[in-house]
Amino acid sequence: MADRTLKTYGKKELFAYLVGMFGQNIIYNVIATGLYFYFQNVICLPAMAIGWIFTFARVWDAINDPMMGTIVDKTRTKWGKCRPYLIIFPGIIGVVTIVAFLNGNYAEASTQMQKVLIVGWAAVSYILWGMCFTVCDIPLWGITSLMTEDENDRSKILGLARVAAGVAGVGVLVVQVAQAAASIFEGKGYEPTKAAQYGFISTVIVITVIASILFEFSGIFTRERVQQSEKRYTFKENFKIMFGNKPFRQILISGILRSPIQLLMLIAMTLITYYYANGDFMNIFGADGSLNTSMLINLLIIAASVFVGQFIAMAITPNLIKKFEKKKLYNFYSVFGAIPYAMLFVLYLISGGDLTSLGWVILTGLCFFFSGGAMGGINVLQSVMIADCVDYEEYTNGVRTDGVFFSGQSFITKLSGGIASIISAVVYSFVGYSDANVDALNKALKNGASFLTYDGGSGAGKYAATMFFLISIPPAIGMLLSIIPTVKYALSDEEHTRILDELVAKRHGGEASETQTGEQTEE
């Protein structure tokens, strides 16, 4: 009788994978939040230039992801098909991350050629970063379905991976750390704009080097256990397989409709920095060095709320999956998650534009907490449901295209980010929050102006209102739209359990047959 013991990972291997996931997502957040902030508020690129750079890069990455998924699925080495990329590329992505910040200041450029070169450098470096990151990201998620045959262990590692990725959200603190470093450069006599730039560059170098070393753990200390089919497909065939898989197609469309949710992470750091710290986190210290306690409390409440809700949801969702249908949980997060998003702008309007008193801060924090929780829960469910789609494809067509299907997860994230980027670019351009105007804003705030009432030529407080609108109304609409494809989700939990049981029996049955054949040959 065949041994039906399921092959799975141990605690040390799980820990190593999560360390690698943490390191990779530190790098991701340095770019996703830090680079956007750097482009917009430090080197003052035009809003539409930023929008087009981020949109083109992410749409290209979204297209490039299935291509990389195909390459991963065709990879055959003694280390497996995912691990080689996780061993080789963390160092490369670290270098490219640093290069993206080595640029000039658009607002200070004296000629049109200098401005073109600055925008060109930003575009090329960011697009190159995205391509390198794709090479790392797809194998990092794809290896989870190769490390174990146990469905519960796979849900566990995917849930913990989302938690590790969420904890790596501390990478967005690159902005605060960079502003603290900038104050050191200012103290040495550097002009404020140069100090801000040097503060970012030095901070990014230190954080990225550490994160790249941690990222290596995911390749060096993991193992691939699930037997791979020798059948391989071309990119065109894989594309047909991916979109022919009905449950996956539903998740894909749902994720695209939810694109505006990316505005929260795209804009949150700029909003927090300017609205609650008046443009510089070092403002928590007065000119005499005294601590501005109320500002510090406001920042802690808002910043914690944005991330704590995500962490809690990502931690408890794997357990909720054991008790409730995945589809129902997914749709629940989408419908009820839209409410706190919408309430953010409602609170801003009711308060008259000033949400900085403690009562308003607590209410705003609650909205961030529950909206972040909805985002975190959906992220976990999306990963688990895509892994289920891989099993569905193996059961239906006899091949595991892990790389291609997990490239779909990256496809959703990047295409969504591109859509969110162009939305923000259009709105920012409309209200004038762009290049020279941002530079003028920074100088005005340095001279004592208030961001809450700043008149940038578009009306007092218009920039603040714009940011609250962007993180509220479009995401709320996107959340509601995202349930349309998944109301009648095609793969029930009961059906997936049956499919997985049959797949495991088939794999172990095949191994038993090979063992018996080998024993007979020896006789």
428 near 466, Cβ under 8 Å?
yes
Q: What is the pLDDT of residues 169-226, one digit of tens each?
A: 888 889 989 999 999 999 899 998 899 999 999 999 999 999 999 999 998 898 887 7
Residue 519, pLDDT score = 46
Q: What is the pLDDT of residues 111-136, one digit of tens each?
A: 999 999 999 999 999 999 988 888 88
Residue 147, pLDDT score = 85
CB proximity list for 151: less than 8 A, separation 6 or greater: 497, 500
- Which residue in 509, 485, 506, 5 sits closest to 247, CA to CA? 485
Whether the predicted pLDDT of 511 surpasses 60: no
The amino acid present at 195, given as its one-letter code, is: A
In angstroms, the CA 437 to CA 518 distance is: 75
Residue 522, pLDDT score = 40
Q: What is the mean pLDDT of residues 58-75?
A: 77
Q: What is the mean pLDDT of the chain?
A: 86
Whether the predicted pLDDT of 512 surpasses 50: no
CA 185 to chain centre: 31
In angstroms, the CA 3 to CA 32 distance is: 46
- Beta pairing partners, 291: 285
Whether the predicted pLDDT of 518 surpasses 50: no
Per-residue pLDDT band at 90 (split at 50, 70, 90):
very high
Q: What is the mean pLDDT of residues 341-350?
A: 96
In angstroms, the CA 228 to CA 237 distance is: 18
Sign of CA dihedral 247, 249, 252, 253: negative
Residue 497, pLDDT score = 86
The amino acid present at 261, given as its one-letter code, is: I
Residue 508, pLDDT score = 67
- Which residue in 468, 443, 182, 493 sits closest to 347, CA to CA? 468
Lowest mean pLDDT among 6-15, 143-152, 268-277, 433-442: 143-152
380 near 388, Cβ under 8 Å?
no
Tell me the two tokens of residue 427.
Answer: 């709105």
Which SS3 state, helix, strand or coil, does residue 344 take?
helix
Lowest mean pLDDT among 13-22, 239-248, 300-309: 239-248
Tell me the two tokens of residue 418.
Answer: 């591109």
- Which residue in 308, 267, 301, 517 sits closest to 417, CA to CA? 267
In angstroms, the CA 476 to CA 232 distance is: 41
Per-residue pLDDT band at 352 (split at 50, 70, 90):
very high
Q: What is the mean pLDDT of residues 476-490?
A: 93
In angstroms, the CA 314 to CA 372 distance is: 10
231 near 398, Cβ under 8 Å?
yes
In angstroms, the CA 315 to CA 18 distance is: 14
CB proximity list for 316: less than 8 A, separation 6 or greater: none
> How many other C-beta atoms can be found within 10 angstroms of the C-beta atom of residue 191?
11
Instruction: Record the pTM.
Output: 0.78
What count of Cα atoms within 13 Å lies in the side-chain half-sphere of residue 373?
21
Per-residue pLDDT band at 502 (split at 50, 70, 90):
confident
189 near 414, Cβ under 8 Å?
no
Q: What is the DSSP string of 34-87?
A: IIHHIIIIIS---HHHHHHHHHHHHHHHHHHHHHHHHHHHH---TT-SSHHHHH
Tell me the two tokens of residue 395.
Answer: 């059961």
Exposure string for 375-408, b = 16+ CB within 10 A, e = fewer: bbbbbbbbbbbbbbbbbbbbbeeebbbbbbbbbb
In angstroms, the CA 103 to CA 37 distance is: 14
- The interaxial angle of helices 402-431 and 47-74, nearest 10 deg, is 180
How far, in Å, are 64, 278, 360, 364 from residue 350 at the CA level? Answer: 44, 21, 10, 12
Whether the predicted pLDDT of 402 surpasses 70: no
Q: What is the mean pLDDT of residues 258-283?
A: 90
Helices (H) and strands (E) in the chain, counts: 21, 0
Lowest mean pLDDT among 40-44, 227-231, 246-250: 227-231
What count of Cα atoms within 13 Å lies in the side-chain half-sphere of residue 480?
10
Most confident of 58-62, 139-143, 221-225, 324-328: 324-328
CATH architecture of 11-222+238-491: Up-down Bundle (1.20)
Domain boundaries, the chain: 11-222+238-491
Whether the predicted pLDDT of 517 surpasses 50: no
Tell me the two tokens of residue 444.
Answer: 């005005």
Whether the predicted pLDDT of 322 surpasses 80: yes
In angstroms, the CA 57 to CA 45 distance is: 16
Q: What is the mean pLDDT of residues 249-260?
A: 91
Exposure string for 38-70, b = 16+ CB within 10 A, e = fewer: bbbbbbbbbbebbbbbbbbbbbbbbebbbbbbb
Residue 507, pLDDT score = 66
- 10 Å CB burial of residue 224 (0-12, 13-18, 19+) is middle
Higher pLDDT residue, 305 or 149?
305
Q: Which residue has the tokens 């409440």?
A: 301
CA 122 to chain centre: 20
